[in-house]
């Protein structure tokens, strides 16, 4: 059974870079059947898709965040990472990682990591 776990700093200063890692267990990120995905949810608000990375290294980002987002893959450690640069308080959210199939079905999800951006 595949499980995902987010990790990283819970507090980031405005204008700096938010960095999170998602460690995958019970499955391999080196899979041609899945997209490794990041989603976020500001407090009290809806889900927002950030982007995904494929095992080949191909990425796809939400146009609204594209200029600030980088998602990378570390197959040796079976994990993938999110970098979001030049953050502001509007980036305060719970950040989730998830596995998506080729039709973008998101399952399973990690438990989520709250990241607060301080001004």
Partner 1 sequence: QSVLTQPPSVSAAPGQNVSISCSGGSSNIAINYVFWYQQFPGTAPKLIIYDNNERPSGIPDRFFGSKSGSSATLGITGLQTGDEAEYYCGTWDSSVSAGLVVFGGGTKLTVL
Residues that bind partner 1 (rule: CB under 8 A) add up to a total of 21
Kindly tell me the burial class for residue 50, based on how many C-beta atoms sit within 10 Å of its own C-beta (0-12, 13-18, 19 or more). Answer: buried
Out of 47, 74, 86, 118, the only residue in the binding site for partner 1 (CB under 8 A) is 47
Window 51 to 80, contacts with partner 1 (CB under 8 A): 60, 62-63
Contact between residue 55 and residue 30 where contact means Cβ atoms under 8 Å apart = yes
Nearer to partner 1, 10 or 107 (CB): 107
Contact between residue 94 and residue 40 where contact means Cβ atoms under 8 Å apart = yes
Stretch that binds partner 1, among 7-15, 18-26, 75-83, 105-113 (CB under 8 A): 105-113
Told to check if 104 binds partner 1 by CB under 8 A, we report yes
End-to-end CA distance of the chain: 40
Q: How many CB atoms lie within 10 A of CB 23?
A: 18
Out of 7, 48, 68, 70, the only residue in the binding site for partner 1 (CB under 8 A) is 48
Q: Which residues bind partner 1 (CB under 8 A)?
A: 37, 39, 46-49, 60, 62-63, 96, 100, 103-112
């Amino acid at each position: 059974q595949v499980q995902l776990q987010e990790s990283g700093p819970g507090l980031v200063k405005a204008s700096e870079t938010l960095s999170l890692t998602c460690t995958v267990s019970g499955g391999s990120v080196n899979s041609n059947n899945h997209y490794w995905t990041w989603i976020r949810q500001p407090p009290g608000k809806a889900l927002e898709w950030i982007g995904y990375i494929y095992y080949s290294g191909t990425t796809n980002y939400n146009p609204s965040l594209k200029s600030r987002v980088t998602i990378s893959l570390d197959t040796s450690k079976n994990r993938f990472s999110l970098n979001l640069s030049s953050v502001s308080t509007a980036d305060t959210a719970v950040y989730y990682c998830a596995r998506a199939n080729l039709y973008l079905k998101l399952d399973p999800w990690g438990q989520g990591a709250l990241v607060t951006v301080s001004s």
